[in-house]
Amino acid sequence: MDKNRVLITGGSRGIGKGLCDAFLSDGYEVLATCRDASQMTSKDKNLIYESLDISNPVSLEEFKSVVDDFKPSVLINNAGITKDNLFLRMSDEEWTDVLNTNLTGTFRVTKLVAKLMLKAKWGRIINISSISGIMGNPGQTNYSASKAGMDGFTRSLAKELGARNITVNSISPGFIETDMTKGLIDESLIEKIPLGRAGQVSDIASIALFLASEKANYITGQTLVVDGGLFMK
């Protein structure tokens, strides 16, 4: 297994795209997924896009051969969705779709990759959760529950895989400037952040690169909050 191969789910935009760029710059070969890879182009020979719907077991089964061929040493579970609504108005579908994608999808992808890491006796699994899973957020009971579940998943899996030199950690972003958060980050929100600014994608990517490296080989089962001090335990 080549230690410089990373699989990044949800790699077509936002934090996922930033992660792809950062790992490419650091010399990694990158396998990135999105729902429709036919819409994606890349001029970098070390970047491959593949179609994957992590909420669909059939799509995961079709993706298995791609994972087996690529043999990633690093997995970043970044793909996720939101379907915000006030709790009493939230439909069963809105609840189930978010949990099935964000949490169950992470379970399914990780299961494919962990088998290869166990054979290689080395691996890095990095889950992109959210500050919403720690502090909660009105209108996001489904999203917050899925991300809190991801952090619990991280801790339990870290205890199972640690003996095989596989680390499992979460990165919990606060409010990060991306095309998806435009219009959501206003002055009243910035005032609540001790560092006085929204985060950049590079703030998340730098932590991911560290966790993927040998420098982080004694860190596992942790949730690293990257939010400018918005939430402090």
Summarize pLDDT for 109-160 with one digit per residue, the tens.
Answer: 999 999 999 999 999 999 999 999 999 999 999 999 999 999 999 999 999 9
Helix spans in 163-230 (H): 187-190, 201-212
What Å distances lie between residue 6 and 26, 48, 93, 125, 132, CA to CA?
11, 11, 32, 10, 26
pLDDT at 179: 78
Which residue is it, tokens 């099935």?
100
Q: CA–CA separation, 75 vs 124, rounded Å?
A: 6
Token representation of residue 33: 């997924």
Token representation of residue 98: 């978010």
Token representation of residue 170: 């979460």
Question: For the chain, how far is it from start to end, CA to CA, in angstroms?
Answer: 38
Which residue is it, tokens 């809105």?
94
CA proximity to 143, closest of 189, 198, 96, 109: 96
Exposure on the CB side of residue 89, measured as CA atoms within 13 A: 7
Quickly state the pLDDT bin for 188 (edges 50, 70, 90). confident
Q: CA–CA separation, 207 vs 225, rounded Å?
A: 10
For 50-89, what is each residue's pLDDT tens digit?
A: 999 999 999 999 999 999 999 999 999 999 999 999 999 9
DSSP assigned state of 176: B
pLDDT at 61: 96
pLDDT at 111: 97
Domain 5-226 has CATH 3.40.50.720: yes
pTM for this prediction? 0.96
pLDDT at 3: 79
**Residues involved in catalysis:** 143
Q: CA–CA separation, 193 vs 195, rounded Å?
A: 6
Q: Which amino acid, one-letter code, is at 197?
A: R
pLDDT at 192: 92
In order, the DSSP letters of 108-169 are HHHHHHHHHHHHHT-EEEEEE--THHHH--TT-HHHHHHHHHHHHHHHHHHHHHGGGTEEEE
Using DSSP's 3-state secondary structure scheme, residue 47 falls into strand
